[in-house]
Structure 1
């Protein structure tokens, strides 16, 4: 899921955390954050779930410059008991799950360069903090993230990490939600991307399908292009309830004998909000996992 090296680099704590070293950010680094923030803030209010905007406000992420993780964690702790901790990059699955299970969100401390403004392979501080942290101020979504971490630790012992990774991908990273008769964004991979913030809601290419846990866990996904399918939840409360009410061990066993579903496939029993043309994916050659 994370593809990190198995042991922390020399000088890194066993839990892979490091100091953010906020003072080391250059004016150019802060300027890049402000540029990215302004671009997203101008387009998201009518597209993103309101809880995201509330999180930006209550956590004061909108202030100029890259947020200080210590100050951010202090505000977040008062709201939902979560913290933001810096890591040097991608971390092993077990470390990632343990942090989530203990209400710690791991964030990269570097920020992209101007030539990476629209795409970079490894998540940076803008994706991690702007994309993920605002919803951690929402009590229900914060509980979902902790439940996911606890489920990840159990999934490791059942050999089901790949299945559970798809749940994270299609909810936490690339999820859509139904709100007041319309679709809204909530996945961090979408809200931190200017292009995908438009594509996910407006483009005729992708399928938009109602959330189904078993179906989602069989579905492959794109790792270096826009998604071919997005899954829609009715509410954060329903997402949390399904996670807490599901006994994942028999679910994993049931899925062992079932084939994967390609990301462009629509099944006969899918509840389809929008049947995509898949025009974008036909124009590009991308990787699937």
Structure 2
């Protein structure tokens, strides 16, 4: 998934759509909302989140006490994998988004949801971006995958294939699962930052869980208004990174000849890890 294009830049926004986080301006209530979100995910994700995410969370020092200061996180992140967090006012144009990723800069929003939005928010907030995304940027292989995705995004824009590449982001970075010796685990940020989907993605019999295949993923549409009907499961982050190494131009040409698949589709060629029952 990529960020939707915004209509204009605010006067305080730089040419690359970055702003100052303004950490000192967060209120006590905003820090309290972070604590509420953090503490409930902390309980749910034990035995559900992949080890790499949990290690990244600890390594970064992201904790329940309040909204993190990007300056402190960047000191740690830069030393670990050469990444930086840059603050943005909200969704940014696709070309700007990809340019940041390609240069190992992760654009994060600064605002935090209200208490009325604890369980659902249409637009990503700081909890989704920092808690959900950034810990895995401490992992060298996943960090390289994200940079490769950014470079691929710049090319996809030029080739008119953004819709295909957006599906790869959606089904990996946002809603990906990984097979481990201990069982299936979560690595997608959209799941990791969601109380309901953290449980649904692994425990509910409704969704399909299908082994990752690059072209299959990029052929599959997604919905943004409900839990996923299909999750794609990688074997390792190395597998994911290797899948992004080839030139995607031939893939885009092949995909142009294929019919898009609706999210709940199961093909005879799929390696199905769990055949879902569908939602009532």
Q: Give the structure 2 partner of residue 258 of structure 1.
A: 258
**Aligned counterparts, 1:150-169, within 5 A:** 150-169=151-170
State the Cα distance separating 1:247 from its structure 2 match.
1.8
Distance 2:125 2:107 in 1: 11
State the Cα distance separating 1:48 from its structure 2 match.
0.7
State the Cα distance separating 1:8 from its structure 2 match.
2.0
Q: TM-score, normalised by structure 2?
A: 0.98
Q: Secondary structure at the match of 1:183?
A: strand
State the Cα distance separating 1:185 from its structure 2 match.
0.2
Structure 1 residues 163-199: Cα deviation after superposition (integer angstroms, max 9, x where no partner): 0000000000000000005100000000000100000
Structure 1 residues 196-220: Cα deviation after superposition (integer angstroms, max 9, x where no partner): 0000000000000000111110101
Structure 1 residues 14-45: Cα deviation after superposition (integer angstroms, max 9, x where no partner): 10000000011000000000000000011112
Distance 2:135 2:20 in 1: 21
Q: TM-score, normalised by structure 1?
A: 0.95
**Aligned counterparts, 1:162-201, within 5 A:** 162-201=163-202
**Aligned counterparts, 1:211-226, within 5 A:** 211-226=212-227
Q: Secondary structure at the match of 1:177?
A: strand
Q: Which moved more, 1:176-185 or 1:116-125?
A: 176-185
Q: Give the structure 2 partner of residue 285 of structure 1.
A: none
Q: Give the structure 2 partner of residue 230 of structure 1.
A: 231
State the Cα distance separating 1:63 from its structure 2 match.
5.0
Distance 2:216 2:81 in 1: 31
Distance 1:276 1:5 in 2: 37
Q: Which moved more, 1:4-13 or 1:35-44?
A: 4-13
Structure 1 residues 102-149: Cα deviation after superposition (integer angstroms, max 9, x where no partner): 000000100000000000100000000000000000000000000000
Distance 1:123 1:2 in 2: 10
Distance 2:237 2:102 in 1: 18
State the Cα distance separating 1:11 from its structure 2 match.
2.6
Residue correspondences, number: 279
Q: Which moved more, 1:7-16 or 1:157-166?
A: 7-16
1:34 partnered with 2:38: no
**Aligned counterparts, 1:110-129, within 5 A:** 110-129=111-130
Q: Give the structure 2 partner of residue 287 of structure 1.
A: none
Q: Is 2:34–2:64's contact at 8 Å kept on the other side of the alignment? A: no
Distance 2:73 2:6 in 1: 28
Distance 2:108 2:229 in 1: 27
State the Cα distance separating 1:83 from its structure 2 match.
0.6
CA RMSD of aligned residues (A): 0.9
